[in-house]
Structure 1
Amino acid sequence: MRSRIILCPTDFSETASHAISYAVEMANLYQVGVRLLHVVDKPFGDKHTRVLAETQDELNERMEKQAAVEMQQYIDSLEGYFPFESSISHGHPVEQILATAKNIDAGMIVIASHGRTGLNHFLNTNTAEKVVNKARCPVLIVK
């Protein structure tokens, strides 16, 4: 851990921003870098699609471009704070987080948890919990 990059997945939420501050603190302590990762998940529902207006590939490309813009704005807002590496990937968030951690030989994953409980926890998949259970490196969950 002490000499390997810290992976910090983000969905651009306030909770994820809070997790980044922990990642930066750990990175400063161990003198390592931070890689921000945003995963563009498979879209579902009318919110993301236009009826017969675009193909799945066009939709994926549009979502990736939007994620790239959001990632750059996000990094710009933090730039004076710490230099970041960043990447955007497509697919299931848990799978992509774990694959990225393996590919970059991450020393730690710092991930936000939205703290859902009860029925809301049951109905919404908990990415942080699944990452903790499957990761091969230490994972810090931030609420």
Structure 2
Amino acid sequence: MIEIRSILAPTDFSKHAEKAVRYACLLAERLGAEIHLLHVLSDIVPVGPDPMLTPVLPPEYYTEAKEQALAALSKTLQPDWGHPPAVKTSACWGEPVEEIVTYARDEAIDLIVVATHGRTGLKHVLLGSVAERIVREAPCPVLTIREREGL
């Protein structure tokens, strides 16, 4: 029998991610699983067309940004989303797919619940899909939650 003891819900704090986190929270409550909330902060700071002009940010920037992300994660779950037995929050710097997959592997996550907003056409070809890459690279099953239009 499959046992799900830990669920990873990565979030970028978008409305799409909120729906997936809510779903993961309700699922964690029902299964008695620990929920892990993860936010990946991007190393890339877009400043213009010349990458040589990218500013060097002070170390305090990275520390403060991570602290702000952790504070936001601590306020993410709403009381009406259910009550999982345990909640673990984490924030890190890096490329989202790599960090999510690494976290899932390091923490022995049993299920990842991730949002997708159904990018199609040229945007999908050029940008790819974070959710699709997570599905391909994750060490565990991945449940994708798609926002339905009109809801």
Q: CA-to-partner distance for each residue in 1:68-118, whole Å, 9 max, x for gaps?
A: 33223324xx25643522110111111111111111111100001121111
Report the TM-score when normalising by structure 2.
Answer: 0.78
Length, aligned pairs only: 138
Q: Which of the residues 102, 107, 112 maps onto 1:104? A: 107
Query: Residue 149 of structure 2 corresponds to which residue in structure 1?
Result: none
How far apart are the structure 2 equivalents of 1:125 and 1:119?
A: 9
Q: Is 2:91 aligned against 1:91?
A: no
After TM superposition, give the deviation of residue 20 of structure 1 in Å: 1.2
Q: Secondary structure at the match of 2:67?
A: helix
CA 1:116 to 1:52, structure 2 compared with 1: closer, same or farther past 3 Å?
A: closer
Report the TM-score when normalising by structure 1.
Answer: 0.82
Moved more, 78-87 or 1-10: 78-87
After TM superposition, give the deviation of residue 52 of structure 1 in Å: 8.8
CA 1:68 to 1:54, structure 2 compared with 1: closer, same or farther past 3 Å?
A: farther
Query: Residue 33 of structure 2 corresponds to which residue in structure 1?
Result: 32
How far apart are the structure 1 equivalents of 2:62 and 2:69?
A: 10
Query: Residue 13 of structure 2 corresponds to which residue in structure 1?
Result: 12
Q: Secondary structure at the match of 1:88?
A: strand
CA 1:80 to 1:38, structure 2 compared with 1: closer, same or farther past 3 Å?
A: same
Root-mean-square deviation (Å): 2.4
Identity of aligned residues (%): 34
User: What are the within-5 Å matches in structure 2 for residues 1-143 of structure 1?
Assistant: 1-46=2-47, 55=57, 57-75=59-77, 78-79=78-79, 81=81, 82-83=83-84, 84-143=87-146
